């Protein structure tokens, strides 16, 4: 029975990947918050999205905040001896309420799954904990009046382990199926990344997104950002091979992007410290007023660069 259920999930995933739908950001959205694990904290894909929105829609004044936390899960699970036994994996349950109360987002992008299978072969109980965590996350965000868009987990490179790569295939397909089960907004980055990787390995067997099989390089982050933007209806970037291709279409695009990366680096540590968390080893951010002052200076520079 378990095997039949897994086959059904995979088959459903194959079908629904053919029917991706666009999600327009509602007109009343101003504050956009990204939550997730170390891939989100690394932030290049978030900076790509922030820069595109700033350049394409300067009049909307989106505020994009990245509060991804390395090692975090939505399942609440942690493997024995994580981080050499120094600390268990952070659990989103511990800080989500503070994120929602202190940041008051209009829209949340959530990207979980990579850590939630605990890098072990597929297990029904771990899968159930992931499902329960995602359902809880969805309900908590919606109850505040904010919208949430779920992002499927990035790929785990099967050259590092086919078993865990398959786990994330299953997790991604289940999450994508919630589009149709509950009419959720779900953007699939998992299978586009997998196809890109497979296509490039036909030409170069050593091609990879991540040396460790987990943390994508800037190329992998751009594929994530591109798929998210395409799913938001931004079809003009369909032919872009990298972020430089996107930026060339805008006056001072490259300079604006570097300023946004600088602003994102300040804000993410500041807001993680402001919200609070239990993960050791993180940078201590600036006091919020000081960070806001520095970001205001950067915003003025961006405004000057984007004037018609």
β-sheet with 147-151: strand ranges across:
63-66, 31-36, 107-111, 147-151, 185-187
The closest of 57, 51, 66 to 25, measured between CA atoms, is 57
The answer to whether the beta carbons of residues 244 and 254 sit under 8 Å apart is yes
Tokens representing 60 are: 């909307």
Around 246, how many Cα atoms within 13 Å sit in the side-chain half-sphere? Answer: 27
Q: Which residues pair with 186 in a beta bridge?
A: 150
Domain boundaries, the chain: 26-306
Residues 179 and 186: beta-carbon distance below 8 Å: yes
CA atoms of 244 and 159, how far apart (whole Å)? 29
Dist. CA 197–CA 205, nearest whole Å? 10
The closest of 155, 166, 169 to 121, measured between CA atoms, is 166
Q: Quickly name the fold that domain 26-306 has.
A: Rossmann fold (3.40.50)
Tens of each residue's pLDDT in the chain, 308 residues: 444 444 444 444 444 444 456 798 999 999 999 999 999 999 999 999 999 999 999 999 999 999 999 999 999 999 999 999 999 999 999 999 999 999 999 999 999 999 999 999 999 999 999 999 999 999 999 999 999 999 999 999 999 999 999 999 999 999 999 999 999 999 999 999 999 999 999 999 999 999 999 999 999 999 999 999 999 999 999 999 999 999 999 999 999 999 999 999 999 999 999 999 999 999 999 999 999 999 999 999 999 999 88
| 8 A C-beta contact, residue 92 and residue 72 | yes
């Amino acid at each position: 029975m378990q095997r039949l259920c897994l086959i059904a999930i995979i088959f459903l995933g194959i079908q629904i990947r053919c029917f991706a739908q666009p999600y327009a950001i509602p007109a009343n959205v101003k504050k956009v918050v990204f939550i997730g694990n170390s891939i989100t904290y690394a932030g290049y894909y978030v900076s790509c999205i922030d820069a595109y929105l700033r350049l394409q829609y300067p009049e909307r004044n989106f505020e994009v905040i990245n509060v991804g936390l390395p090692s975090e899960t939505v399942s609440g699970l942690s493997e024995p001896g994580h981080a050499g036994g120094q600390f268990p994996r952070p659990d989103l349950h511990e800080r989500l309420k503070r994120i929602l109360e202190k940041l008051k987002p209009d829209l949340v992008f959530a990207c979980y799954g990579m850590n939630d299978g605990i890098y072990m072969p597929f297990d029904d109980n771990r899968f159930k904990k992931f499902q329960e965590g995602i359902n809880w996350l969805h309900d908590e965000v919606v109850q505040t009046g904010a919208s949430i868009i779920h992002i499927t987990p990035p790929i785990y490179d099967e050259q590092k382990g086919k078993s865990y790569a398959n786990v994330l295939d299953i997790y991604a397909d289940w999450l994508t199926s919630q589009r149709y089960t509950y009419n959720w907004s779900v953007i699939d980055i998992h299978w586009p990344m997998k196809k890109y990787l497979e296509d490039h390995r036909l030409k170069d067997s050593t091609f990879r997104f991540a040396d460790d099989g987990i943390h994508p390089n800037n190329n992998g982050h751009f594929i994530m950002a591109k798929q998210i933007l395409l799913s938001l209806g931004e079809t003009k970037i369909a032919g872009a091979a990298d972020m430089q291709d996107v930026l060339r279409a805008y006056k001072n695009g490259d300079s604006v992007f570097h300023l946004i990366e600088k602003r994102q680096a300040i804000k993410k540590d500041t807001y993680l410290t402001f919200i609070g968390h239990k993960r050791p080893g993180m940078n201590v951010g600036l006091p919020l007023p000081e960070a806001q002052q520095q970001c205001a200076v950067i915003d003025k520079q961006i405004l000057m660069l984007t004037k018609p």
